[in-house]
Amino acid sequence: MKKRIPLNYITAAVLCVIVIVLVIVLAMQFGLANEKEPIYPGPGVTDMKMLSTWFPALAGTNGDTEVYILDSGVEGASMLVLGGTHPNEPSGFISAIMLIESCQPSSGTLFVIPRANNSAFTCTDPQEAAPMRFTIDTNNGTRWFRFGSRATNPTDQWPDSEVYVHASSGQQLSGSETRNLNRAYPGRADGNFTEKVAYGITQMIQSEDITITVDLHEASPEYTTVNAIVAHERALDLATLALWMVEDDMKISVEASPKNLHGLSHRELGDYTDTLALLMETANASQGRLHGRIDSALVTSGVDKFYARAYGYGSLNVDYPETGISISERCARHITCLKEFCEVYDGDKGLISLGEMPSYDEIIRNGIGHYLSDPQ
């Protein structure tokens, strides 16, 4: 007598096939997260190296990242710009790309790392429903950019401990900070993934004797440190002089780096290297707790009726108009201050100048896309 295949075997087999198809589709979708947006080096770029040049252990890992070098050919001071420490704070990343594509320093050397935490560009923050990409219109086309996470991708570093202990100070922070690059400085050669990336950047600063380091960030409009320059005590004079130069254009404050808050670039890079360590914050609605739907338009325009209403209630630390705070305005803040840090630096390492750069008003008027290369 012929034995019949039980019905539950047939349904289970059919479901297994459906599962395999679903997994393939989802894995392909996931693969898109590893796709990098193109960056088109401009005429000022003289060399491009990987961070593993300074810390070979990073080679072949998701922590290795591009370092663009813009050497003016005129001896002078040097500046390192860190974009993408937190890839959900896009104005720092876009400002760094703008420098790579359109800056031509006239003295000194500019180093730019657009994706400081390269791994964090390959994921988004859980439960935020954030877009994987956003777009910016250039003069002749639209370019896409990754919107990433505040923290290293958990596929590169996992699990998080309950309590994150900062290695060199012993400071205890929430376990969620374990994968935060800006809590990992100065880093450790034998530390976790994020600490190794931080160590690579610290090694580079020491080896290249970088004069000024600026870490570009954004903060939610309700956060206390926003539209601000945070400076290590050795960089306070530089930050204050730059503030005097830009305060006609924008409202901005200078804050001293807290000595008891460890792991941050403006604290540890200043303590462990000779660089003048600075960090900048602009107001980004897509990062806050009050925004409505988060999409590419919110990331770039900053228009959000809930933030405008919160501003009306006096609940924010920045002026938040109904027209939003656009990514052009946020990048204009970063670029203008970077330019002034260079202009006012008067140390013993010579001069550094970013050359001809658009003014704050020009960037806002023309849009940041005007200063990015067209898609190729």
Which stretches of the chain bind another protein, using CB under 8 A?
A: 6-9, 11-12, 15-16, 18-19, 22-23, 26-27, 30, 155, 158-159
Please, what's the b/e burial string for 13-32 (b: 16 or more CB within 10 A of its CB; e: otherwise)? eeeeeeeeeeeeeeeeeeee
Cβ nearer to another protein, comparing 22 with 189: 22
Shorter beta-carbon distance to another protein: residue 1 or 5: 5
- Shortest distance (Å) from residue 11 CB to another protein: 6
User: Cβ of residue 119: shortest distance to another protein, in angstroms?
Assistant: 13
| CB contact at 8 A, 268 and 224 | no
- Work out the angle between the directed axes of helices 327-344 and 90-102 (0-180°, nearest 10): 60
Helix orientation angle between 327-344 and 236-246, rounded to the nearest 10 degrees: 120
Q: How far is the CB of 286 from another protein (least distance, A)?
A: 23
CB of 161 to another protein, least distance (A): 10
The b-or-e profile of 261-273 (16+ CB within 10 A means b, else e) is: ebbbbbbbbbbbb
- Whether residue 263 contacts residue 169, with contact meaning beta carbons closer than 8 Å, is answered with yes
Which residue number, 28 or 313, has a Cβ lying nearer to another protein?
28
Q: Which is nearer to another protein, 9 or 244 (CB)?
A: 9
Beta strands in the chain (DSSP E): 47-50, 66-71, 78-82, 109-113, 133-138, 141-146, 163-165, 172-174, 212-219, 228-231, 253-256, 276-283
Q: Rounded to an integer, what distance in angstroms lies between the CA atom of residue 220 and that of residue 233? A: 25
Q: Which is nearer to another protein, 178 or 275 (CB)?
A: 178
Min separation Cβ 214 and another protein, Å: 34
Distance CA 369, CA 376 (A): 14
CA–CA gap between residue 367 and residue 364 (Å, rounded): 5
Coil, helix or strand at residue 353: strand
Distance CA 355, CA 342 (A): 10
Closer to another protein by Cβ: residue 29 or 359: 29
Handedness of CA 30, 31, 34, 39 (dihedral sign): negative
Shortest Cβ 10–another protein spacing (Å): 10
Kindly state the smallest distance separating residue 22's Cβ from another protein, in Å.
Answer: 5
Residue (31 or 347) nearer to another protein, CB: 31
Instruction: Return the number of the residue (127 or 140) whose C-beta is nearest another protein.
Output: 127
Cβ 124 to another protein, closest distance in Å?
12
